[in-house]
Structure 1
């Protein structure tokens, strides 16, 4: 297998770009909705006769990667401890950040003043801090006052002290070296960042002058034709300069995502490789890899508690971090008709009697539709 490195990277990219061969990539099931009509479409996917789907989804992999970096590089256990305790991530983060009781931090609950939803704000707030969003912009997005937004940012920094440092260090590394790496050493390069950032910094004062001039032209009570022509010219200059500044912000966000999401993707690839090998050895089918989930077809005679334990091991032990990985495993007679392992009769390979009618109304609906056809 060809190894990609700094010495041959550009040559390989040029070769790939010049290659016009069409390579089939299969069906992209990631774009299929999981709600509404998308559920009915997914329900049309069934395993072949004598097999049953088993799906396994990694739980909150990206926050776990963040917590591992915060612990390994900065000795900050604030986020990692939540996963070690095995409690709800965003409820616990909200309790810690706002210093209020759990009843106010569960899903859809409001704070004691009835002003905002702490758990909802926490989920969006992690991204806001990651992307350097201002408290004012965050307040507008969450429909809260500037004071509430400022309170969130201040308490977040206090509660998770190395989070911003982690984000800044990843961006700083990218700015200095022109690339970032996942925890497993896979690189994403930002070769033009330094030159574009330098040009943008050089033109910053010029951009500010154009913004000021545009405001003056717009505020004129009786602008002349010449004023309107100048306004168009000024806007054209602003568009060019602002686009480059926006590109810098995009690259800085992408650098952080490349480390966090990229590490998650690396883990899923390792899981997929091991899962494919197990499928080959045992006569299973590896049907799909969708976001953080894998889906296998298991021969009914092999669908046992031991098989579920093996799939759990594939998902959680193939790659390890300084924070535990967890997975949610479901058994599916058809896609999205999900039964927990505790709801499954492994002896007879069917749902336990008390859960047998879990999806009966949906199956009846399919029967009526088939009859009409």
Structure 2
């Protein structure tokens, strides 16, 4: 049976479209539920953009710190904070920032209507009740979080997303002007997350024409952005590369790089974009042409990858890293086929981590 997956309901794209936020969200306000909750990356606190958030009435603005990737305990704390401050559920949740801020807003919107801890919902199609209305305003591009059905979370036992149709945003506001001020290194790492999405999707065993169409376009845009001189259109292209890259894995999957980087992140707290870049640089065996091109992009960007991350890990840390990575079975099957366990043994995974 073919999967009938949900897509983002409404998309607005273009320079300056952020100025339409008030009107767009106004359509969701009514007498019963008129308040919005904004979860905004605290890097914008006190900055001009932070002051531009279009608050109305009793809207709630919560500054979220994403120095560490989203954790289930943070999601639970935010839900408790919102419910403690409001008599009833708000009209919606709005995530403003990069992939982590967007994933937090997706998770909070789901957990506002589902009981228990978010850790109980790490997996596929576990939430029983529809989420609150939720919208995203990306200020970084590359992760594809704005279109994906997963919100990646680190829990007590694993790093795994709440992967549900209820996680998908109802509205995304894609304004290329908002990503222009991103630091160069951060822009590169989130962009490489997108590039790696495409390589893994296009070379995976789950590939189909739907995924291929989006993946090929995203890959083309990534090459224009990271192999050529930066232009006025670079942000527009990167924003659409992120959108298409996220769509490319909606009907397929990612692969070896993401599976290994999940283990790296769980044990060492490595951020998703930089973690993927670190891992991908060691994957010549699996994606030779992609890794070769990635290194050209790395050189052009003048970025030096961290080395020796796993040099002093304990046996317990290695075991946990391997366990988390090998638990990503769909990713491994997409990358290596149904017999992936014969290829990616625990010994092989250990050897790869030791090289990092």
Same fold (TM over 0.5): no
By relative contact order (CA 8 Å, sep 6+), the higher-ranking structure is 1
Q: Return the structure number with greater helix share.
A: 1
TM-score between both structures, scaled by the size of structure 2: 0.24
- The structure number with the bigger radius of gyration is 1
TM-score between both structures, scaled by the size of structure 1: 0.23
